[in-house]
A and B are shown apart, each in its own frame.
Chain A
């Protein structure tokens, strides 16, 4: 025994098997049904955008870290997740160079300038999307229908032909790549919940407040939940761990706030869709929510007998 070097480290001496790269992999796995649906409805454009979106995000992160003389950590998968998520929220007709620019902007300005993984305030994929919407508004609103690539209005646009609910559920409508099929999104969401990656408090909060708001504004709640990017946002975007609150009550408030803001923008905003800005707005108030919703500590406020 004398010459054997034993490891000395403080307790606990055992760790859970789950790792951060595994969580990122889980998100990618959960996006498989969405990507399959996107390819089915929109064909080669889906593959093109996901591929270039993901590659641009990874490359930007690696270049940025290289320039700053930091260890290159693209293997944790977080940049890939950002790029793929962004690609799934853009119209199928978006030119390749635009998705590259958007992805690079999301990683560089949305994530790396804050210090990289874990330090960003805003969801990097949505930062990229907001940048694209502001810069190339026409391209970002050029929706093409499934199968035929003919330009159509999104079901949410004023005066557009209302899509049938089954079509909205299965995804056979005009819209962003990954946002049209509610079924595929739900499959991914169930997998994420099972893996403990999706926080149901946020997702249910978003859907609940959006449903209540749509009833209050006289809209059909089922239509509002299925149309546009709401479901995709509720499952994949609002639940981003880094940019959502870490307190139990804070997560409910965050989710409810996102749903409320989405419906506010849809009802009175000048755009047909508001999921991106609703989530970015709630990202901004996340530190405040965390501060205001600190849990009661065990034994505090308890009377001594």
Chain B
């Protein structure tokens, strides 16, 4: 077994590992990791709790009676509804169209009748214009346009199909994929990097996708590489998912698979690029300026299904987990499935949860209730017990500098926090507040339990608002 061999080699070289770990974590060297396992400088090792769901195969969840499809499921302009109350819709039919290039169309995940086009609670905490569809249970689809040999399609055709399918980055940010694949004319993309790190604790949706949809994933990667002109494809996977690596290797062919150290935020775009290619994305720049395009594994699978089968993005895998969930597991669910429905499918709560989070515990969005619905970027639903959810009382900063040692952007979070608290926006900008990736490592590690990231966010918002004011 390939997976077993990898684990064995790591343990045998424990002293080598300790030495490299020391060099990486303590001397501040940017060592490339141990035994070919790559990593970045900084980061944390939180409790992963992935064992709750790592072994549970993706279950197809029957569509609920009512789905709520928000028009905001991506970065950029909201989609504009193309249906009205009372309309009959087919599954896969466009119900919201993109008003401008940086946006994405939205499709009906089920067939049925439009019950309302109205504001509904969104996972981001706001109310967002949504199309509510009453599922008729018939699962009648629009006629799709499959292609028998998708790799023969031209670059433009692939991008057009991705755009039409409404595919956005499914790792969390939701940047429209078609836009990401069309960098400025003079940019040269050397590497397409498929992000299979899934560094957020608890989540296993991407892990299961790599295990169960490896073939689709590889096809998606090839199509994405053709679309952005990358000669080389690299898939990065954290070394807590060696079974996924073994599975991917069966189908990979010329695609390189890189083992990454299990460390948060290994899947952060900038950290992943640094770990795998050794290059850095310029400050205030985008990955293509380092010659790289990064796509999440779920996105790659969706791309394969869109280009080969003509299927729009209307479903995704969601990990439903946490200590307050009775039967944590992975579901393949239609977009628009209410969170309440997911919790019931996982056996309900074992106790009243203290906090419900959409996404992972490091960067996820806290929820007011379970009324919001799954969007294209929802990769997990996490319910923490009341004891786990208590927000600790902050104490004075003792300058222990653990936040400095873990910051993957090499910032001084304790200074930025102080600048944010005392409204010293110019100093915050000078100390690189805008380079903060909001991973939350500083707040996680702080022994005085200070809300560092919160104040850095305030500073960032103020700096951005001030620069907008100046330019207008």
User: Chain A interface residue count: which class?
Assistant: 35 or more
Q: Which of B422-472 touch A at CB < 8 Å?
A: 431-432, 435, 438, 440, 443-449, 451, 453-454, 457
Interface 1/0s, chain A 115-159, versus B by CB < 8 A?
A: 011110000000000000000000000000000000000000000
**Which of A11-19, A50-58, A261-269 makes up part of the contact surface?**
A11-19
**Separation in Å of the B396 CB from the closest CB of chain A?**
4
Chain B residues lying within 8 Å of A11, measured Cβ to Cβ, are: 357, 361-366, 438, 440, 453
Known: A7-B391, A16-B444. A247 touches B280 (CB 8 A): no
Chain B residues lying within 8 Å of A298, measured Cβ to Cβ, are: 270, 274, 280-281, 283, 408-410, 435
A10, B454: Cβ atoms closer than 8 Å: yes
**Separation in Å of the A252 CB from the closest CB of chain B?**
9
Interface 1/0s, chain A 261-299, versus B by CB < 8 A?
A: 000000000000000000000000000000000111111
**Which of B8-16, B88-96, B234-242, B397-405 makes up part of the contact surface?**
B397-405
Interface 1/0s, chain B 405-428, versus A by CB < 8 A?
A: 100111110100000000000000
How far apart are the CA atoms of A302 and B278 in the complex, in Å?
12
Total number of residue pairs linking A and B with CB closer than 8 Å = 177
If over half of B's interface residues share one DSSP class (helix, strand or loop), that class is named, otherwise mixed; here it is loop
Chain A residues lying within 8 Å of B298, measured Cβ to Cβ, are: none
A117, B396: Cβ atoms closer than 8 Å: yes
By CB atoms of chain B within 10 A, which of A15, A78, A118, A304 has the most? A15
How far apart are the CA atoms of A78 and B283 in the complex, in Å?
40
The answer to whether A1 has its CB under 8 Å from any CB of chain B is yes
The answer to whether B102 has its CB under 8 Å from any CB of chain A is no
The answer to whether A300 has its CB under 8 Å from any CB of chain B is yes
Q: Which of A22-55 touch B at CB < 8 Å?
A: 22-23
The answer to whether B3 has its CB under 8 Å from any CB of chain A is no
How far apart are the CA atoms of A298 and B352 in the complex, in Å?
42
Subset of 20 A-B contacts with CB under 8 Å: A6-B353, A6-B368, A9-B366, A10-B451, A10-B453, A10-B457, A12-B361, A19-B447, A20-B398, A23-B398, A23-B447, A76-B395, A246-B401, A246-B414, A247-B401, A296-B410, A298-B435, A299-B280, A299-B283, A300-B432
Extra A-B contacts (17), CB below 8 Å, given A299-B281, A300-B432, A302-B282:
A6-B368, A10-B453, A11-B361, A11-B362, A12-B362, A12-B453, A13-B355, A13-B366, A16-B44, A16-B445, A78-B398, A242-B398, A295-B411, A298-B410, A299-B282, A303-B282, A305-B188
Chain B interfacial positions (CB closer than 8 Å to A): 26, 28, 44, 46-47, 187-188, 201, 270, 274, 279-285, 289-291, 340, 352-357, 361-370, 382, 384, 388-392, 395-402, 404-405, 408-412, 414, 431-432, 435, 438, 440, 443-449, 451, 453-454, 457
